[in-house]
Every structure is written in C-alpha cells, then in structure tokens.
Amino acid sequence: MRIAFYINSANEEAVASVGSIAGTARRCGLSEGTPRDADVLVALGGDGTILSAVRLHPSVPVLGLNLGSLGYLSSVGRGDFEKAFSLLAAGRFKVAERSMLQVGKSGGRRAAALNDVVVVREMSGHAAILDVAVNGKAATRYMSDGLVVATPTGSTAYSLASGGPVLMPDTSSFVLTAINPHALDVRPIVVNDSVTISVTSRRRVNGAAEKIGVWADGRRVFRLDVDESAAISKYRLSAKLVELEGYDPYEVLSRKLGWARRR
C-alpha cells in the first residue's frame, strides 16, 4: 500500500508534524509516494484540507487525519493515527463514493463541490431575492441572505448551521436550506439528486439589486447579475473517501455533535 500526504501549507501543525506522522505510517508497513502513484491520499488538517485534496486529486481515494477543530470528513482523531495506518496497511477499509455538485451559468465558469454550493448576497445588509426552480418548474422564492444547496456529505456543514437536516452519506438527495430567511415558515427542501436546481437573482421591490455571489466549497465561482441564473446539479464524478473498518456514520454524528454526552 502506497500513500501520499496532502497538507495545508498554512496549517503550521500539519507542516511541523508530517515528518513524524510519515514515520508512523512507515512503521505500520506503508510506503510513501506522490499523489500520482499513491493508492490513498492522506490529508492532514481539517475538512477544508480534504475538500481541497478531493478537488485537486479526484481519482485518488482520500483519508482524512483530523488536525482541525471539528472535522466531520477527517474523522480520524490524533490518538488514532497509528491504528488508522495499521488498518490501511492490512486492507481493512472500503472506498466510499460520495456524490458531488456542479454549478455554472450561461457563458460563465463552472465548478464542482463535495460539500455545498452557496448563493449569497454580498456587500450590503439587504436581503437577496432568489427564485428557485427544480427541473424548470417554479418551486419557491426566498427573501433571505442566501441559499445553501448541500450534498449528503455537506449537510453537516453550512446547511446544518443554517437549520437544515442531516442527510446520511448514502442518501440519493440534496438539501436546499435558506440562510436567515425573512419569514418564519420557510423550511429546508430535500430533493432527489437527479434534478437540476436553478437559482435566479431578482430585484427588490424598490428596484435595487443585490450583488449575489456563487460559491463552491468556500471558493467564489462567479457573481449573478439581475435575472441571471445559476444551474446546480449532480456532478458526473464522485468523491472517493476512505472509510476504515468499523466506520459508523451514526457514531461520528453522535460524537461530533455531542449527542453521546447528552445521553
């Protein structure tokens, strides 16, 4: 089994500890290569590091070692690195295919996202007016700070913080969650991942228009002008994440969200 390390150069802890972590991997029977010839890419950091690794090396399965604060994707904690490497060397893992999103607009850039696509107002404190259609059929209008369209993997990120539901990783669906809606009856919408979601920026009643940014996994892709639409759908490729033997998504949720402490 050959691994390669992917680190965020801005993460001082990751830079300082990669040498000792690589030594642990070698003692467990793993050899080190480059992302081009590796069987598994080991991402050192938080979930943002994993998102970056998936984007830059989509064909290589990624295992996340958590050096961040929360880390839903990088679920292997500091005390379990040696155990993780031993399981990896023994082949006691599986590669899970996680659905991704793609977003684009007519004549504009396109981007893929593992977690979410966020359509959000920029600059001013006024609400955005966003019309949402699903497969060409009008669904709803949001007056809010913005909208999060999340995959099951990303449902525990910005969407959850905005009041959205948790989707299990094997769910064939996406969730639409409004950000700070100006109505108490607005609720998230769960849709099948086979649909195309269109989000169109509109003017406010007084004729003014918000500057609307479209972001994919925290990276700004483009801006929407008035009456322009962003098209969001399932990406043709999936992300490959390593799930070690014993991985339980319910246990991870319970541990990360503190549900176990409540019991």
Q: How far is 80 from 220, CA to CA, in rounded Å?
A: 35
Contact 239, 113 (CB under 8 A): no
Q: Which of 90, 145, 87, 156 is nearest to 120 (CA)?
A: 145
User: How far, in Å, CA of 44 to CA of 21, rounded?
Assistant: 9
Q: Is 47 tagged catalytic?
A: yes
Helix axes 12-27, 81-89, angle to 10 degrees: 50
φ and ψ at residue 262, rounded to 5 degrees = -65, -35
**Residue 182 identity:** H
Which of 39, 47, 131, 185 is catalytic? The answer is 47
Residue among 53, 262, 72 at smallest CA distance from 167: 72
Residues marked as catalytic: 47
